[in-house]
Every structure is written in C-alpha cells, then in structure tokens.
Structure 1
Amino acid sequence: MRMHNADETCGIAQAALVLGDWWNVLVLREVARGHVRFDALAAEIGLSRKVLTERLGGLVAQGVLRRSLYQRRPVRYEYLLTDAGIALVPLLVAMQDWGDRWVLGDGSVTATAAQDGAEYARVHALAGTRLPDGLELPGTQGADVPVVAPDAAATVLFTYPGAGVDWGEPIPGAAGCTLENRLFRDAWPDFRGAGVDVRGVSTQLPYEQEKFARTEKVPYELLSDAQHRLAAALRLPAFRGAGRLRHKRLILVIDAERTVRHTLFPVVDIPHAVTESLRLAIDCARTRR
C-alpha cells in the first residue's frame, strides 16, 4: 500500500497498515477469544485456507502474532498474541463498544441493554460455550487469578461497572455496584456451602479493587479486567463512563469444565439476580455430583 509522506509519522496510519483490513481485525478478534488454531480460525471466520494463511503470515510478520508449535507430525502451530498484539485488545473492545453504540444502537450511553438488541443476543449465546483455557486476571493482591475457580463445583462470575465511582451525569444501569457486592458478600456462606465460588470483575485497577474489598470485607475474589482480556475473550458488552471503558452488569454461571451454563443479562433487579444466580449455581453444582 502506497502512503502519503505525511503518513510516515502518523501513528493512526501506521496502525491501519498493521490492521490492514476487515479480515485481519476478525483474525485478531478470534485469537483474543481463544481460537488460536488454524482450523478453529477458519471455521469461526469463514475464510478460505489460502486467504487465512496469508493473513496469519502477515500478522506474524508485523509482530502482533507469534507461532507456537503444538504438534510435530504433521506440523501444526497455534497463533498467539505477542505483547504488541495484547496491546491491541483494548482497541478491539473499543471498536466493539463503538459498533454497539453507534451502529447497532441509538448512540446513547447506557450500562444496560434492550432484550431485542445485539448485546443481549451476544451474551445469551455464551450459554453452552467453553471459556478459553488459562484465562486469568489480576486479583486484589496483584497476582493473576483464574477466572473460573479450579476447585469449585461451579463459579458465579459477575461483571459490574465499578464500585465507588462518581458517574457525573447519571448513566442508566451503572449505579448499584456496591449493593451488588454486598449482596454477594452476605450470600457467600450459602455459595460456599454448595461448593460454588464467586468472582467479581470490573475494569477498575487492582489497587482500587483491593481498597474496596478491604473496606467492604468482600470474601471472594475481585478481578481486574483493566486490559480488557475477559471482555475481548467473551465479547462482553461495555460502555464508556467516568473516563474509561467499563463492563455492563451481567452474571454467568460456569460449571467445573469451564462451560457457561446460565447467563443473566441485563441485570435490572440486582437482589433478584443475586438470588437467582445462587439457585442456578446450586443446581449446576448438584448436576456435577
């Protein structure tokens, strides 16, 4: 691609060269979702083997993907994000937010969703899908923590916009994060008694999560998705509020095999959603036994 001389010092133009076109963006989207092998990528995107080979080769050459050998006979590779590729993940989530708001939505900022909208359909389509292996996020102590508790019969994973945030102008659906955490805290003995773990996730930084957890005596893990790895992996709905991209409130009930069994979204009645997630998680745990 020939560029105007002025583009040589333009970061936007240089990034556009790396992203290239529609197919490159979709390849990166799928790798971020955990589809890292050639056949899985081809199936998810619908690309011919020839075109996909070209796109993967270009992204490797640009330094955003790297090949990792997982089979010798015949030779097979996985395509993994490099540090440069991981740095593109927030851009992918920002693109999704823009598309949800301005193309699929009416342009308004909201932390909830309509039941006939794309975000609703995308979240509820997660039921029956398996979370990518090795998906971890920073916990309140800074160390990475598995998104799904490895020793639990089921995990309730809930995302929330942010606790203790000054939203300025009211954003529909954004308020209630402290209440939600308190309700999960109070129900914690019932969850643990059933062999169910709980994970709370927001895009707040680990030190912000730690301060909140300490103040509110939160007994379960609070994880930071500030780098948007979970949002990209599951294509979770987001909105921009109080200076950053934030998760919309939803709840996933995940079994011990990392498969999403139930989705609650949008969460409008927070007390009911916490109670319902406990009921669904207990049923999920009993099924395992």
Structure 2
Amino acid sequence: MRMHNADESCGIAQAALIVGDWWNVLVLREIARGHVRFDALAAELGLSRKVLTERLGRLVVSGVLHRSPYQRRPARYEYLLTEAGVGLLPLLVAMQDWGDRWMLGDGSATATAADDGAEHARMHSLAGTTLPVELELPGSDGIPRDAVARDAAATVLFTYPATGIQWEEPLLAAAGCTLENRLFRDFWPAFREAGAAVHGVSTQLPHEQAAFARAESVPYPLLSDTHLRLAAALRLPTFRGAGQVRLKRSVLVLDRQRTVRHVLFPVGDIPHAVERALRLATALAAGHS
C-alpha cells in the first residue's frame, strides 16, 4: 500500500496497515478464539485457500503471527499470536464494543444487555464452543492459572466488572460485584462437594484482586483479564467504567473438555444466577447435562 510520507511516523497509519484490512481483522479474531490451524481458519471464515494463505503470510511477515509446526510430513503449522499480536487484542475488543454500541445498538452506554440484542445472541451462541487450550490468566495469588480448572469435572467461570471501586459513571454499582463474590464464597463448599471449580474474572490488576480476596476471604481464584485475552477468545461483551474496559457480568459453566455447556447472560438477579450456576455445575459434574 502506498502511503503519504507523513504517515511513516504516524502510529495510526502504521496500525491501519494491519487492521485496516477486513480479512486481516477477521483472521486475528479467529486466532484469538483458538482457531489456529489453516483448515479451521478456512472453515470459520469461508475464505479461499489462496486468499487465506496470502493474509497469513502478510501477518507473519509483519510480526503479528508466528508459525509453529505441529506435523512434519506433510508440513503443517499453527498460526499463533506474537507479543505484538497479543497487543492487538484490546483493539479488537474496542472495535467489538464500538460495534455493539453504535452499529448493533442504539448508542447507549450500559453495563447490561437487552434480551433481544446482539450481545445476548453472541453470548448464548457460546454453548457448544470450546475455550482455547491453556488460556492462562494471572491469579490474585500470583500464580498464572488456566481459565478452566484441570482437576474439576465442571468449571463455573463468572465475569464481573470490578470490586471496591468508586465509579466515575456508576453504570453498575461495585457493590453488586462484591455481593456476587460473597455469594459464590458462601456457596463454595457446595461447589467443591459437587466437584466443581469456581473462577472469577475481571479486568482489574492482580494486586487489586488480591486485596479484595484477602478482605473478603475469597476461597476460589480471581483471574485478571487485563490484556483481554479471555474477552477476545470468547468475544465477551465489555463497557467502559471509571475510564477502564470492564467485562459485563456473565456466568459460564464448562465441562472437563473445556466446552461451554451453559450460559447465563445477562445477569440481573445475582442470587438467582449463583444458585442456578450451582445447580447446573452439580448436574454437569454428576454426568447430567
């Protein structure tokens, strides 16, 4: 692409070389979702092999992707995000947030979602999909953890905006997130007895989560999605609160194979959602879907 000389020192123009191409953006979206092999990408995108090969080659040359061999004869590769590629995930999430609000919505800024909206449809379409392997997030205890517990028959993964924050624009009261964590804490013995793990996820920093976990005696891991890896992998709805990107409240129940079996979204009645999550996780862990 020919650029004006002034664009050579413009970060926006340089980034547009990567994300200004429709197919490049969608290829990155699918790789973030865990579709890292050529055939899987072609199937998800409905793209010709020639065009897909060209786009993948460009993204590798640009340093956004790198090829990792998984088969020698014939040679087969997985296309994985580099550090520069991971750095693009917040941009993809921002594009999704803007599209949800201004193209698919009425422009309102909200921490909830309408039952007949695009976010509702996208979240409930997660049922039957698989979370990328070994998607690890920093934990409040300083230990990187897989978003899905490896030693549990079921994992309840609940996302929440933040705890312990005085909102500049109170789209959602922080007290609601504290209540949610307290309820999961109180029901934790029942989840554990059922063989189910509980993971809470927000975009807060690990030390912020650690302070809250200590103050509230939270017995399960709180995971930090500061870099929006989980948000991009599942295309989770987000909003901006107190100047930060926040995850909207949701509850996912996953099986041992990392497959999403149940989706609770939007979450309005928090006590009801926690109790329902316990019922669903207990049934799943017992072998009943």
Q: Which TM bucket (shorter chain)?
A: over 0.9
- The answer on whether the counterparts of 2:163 and 2:174 sit within 8 Å (CA) in structure 1 is no
Q: Which residue is equivalent to 2:47?
A: 47
In 2, the alpha carbon distance for the partners of 1:252 and 1:192 equals: 17
Matching residue of 1:8: 8
Task: Pick which of 205-214 and 102-111 moved more.
Answer: 102-111
Secondary structure at the residue paired with 1:120? helix
**Cα offset, 1:233, TM superposition:** 0.4
Preserved CA contact (<8 Å) 1:111 1:174: no
How much has 1:174 moved relative to structure 2?
6.4
Q: Cα offset for 1:168?
A: 2.4
Deviations 1:97-139 (A, max 9, x none): 1111111111111111001111001110111111111111000
Asked whether 1:252 is paired with 2:252, we answer: yes
What is the correspondence of 1:69-148 to structure 2 with a 5 Å cutoff? 69-148=69-148
Residue 232 of structure 1: how far off its partner (Å): 0.3
Shift of 1:257: 1.2
CA 126–173 in structure 1, closer or farther in 2 if over 3 Å, else same: farther
In 2 relative to 1, CA 251–19 (structure 1 residues): closer, same or farther, beyond 3 Å?
same
> What is the rounded CA distance, in whole Å, between the counterparts of 1:51 and 1:181 in structure 2?
47
In structure 2, the CA distance between the partners of 1:174 and 1:24, relative to structure 1 (3 Å rule), is farther
Structure 1 residue 141: Cα displacement: 2.4
Q: Distance in 2 between the 1:175 and 1:106 partners?
A: 27
1:17 aligns with 2:17: yes
Spell out the pairing of 1:204-283 with structure 2 (5 A cutoff). Answer: 204-283=204-283
Secondary structure of the residue that 1:176 maps to in structure 2? helix
Quick one: structure 1 residues 12 and 161, their matched pair in 2 at CA, closer, same or farther if it must change by over 3 Å?
A: same
User: 8 Å contact 2:182–2:216 — kept in the other structure?
Assistant: yes
Structure 1 residue 167 displacement after superposition: 1.5
Give the TM-score, by structure 2 length: 0.98
**TM-score with structure 1 length normalisation?**
0.98
The Cα of 1:5 is off from its aligned counterpart by 1.3
Q: Does 1:60 align with 2:57?
A: no
CA distance in 2, matches of 1:72, 1:169: 54
- List, as ranges, runs of 4+ consecutive aligned residues in structure 1 with deviation greater than 6 Å: none
Contact 1:153 1:288 in 2 (8 A): no
- Whole-Å separation in 2 of the counterparts to 1:110 and 1:257: 33
1:158–1:250 Cα contact (<8 Å) kept: yes
Change (3 A) 1:162 1:56: same
Q: Where in structure 2 are there 5+ consecutive unaligned residues?
A: none
SS at 2:287 equivalent:
helix
Distance 1:146 1:172 in 2: 28
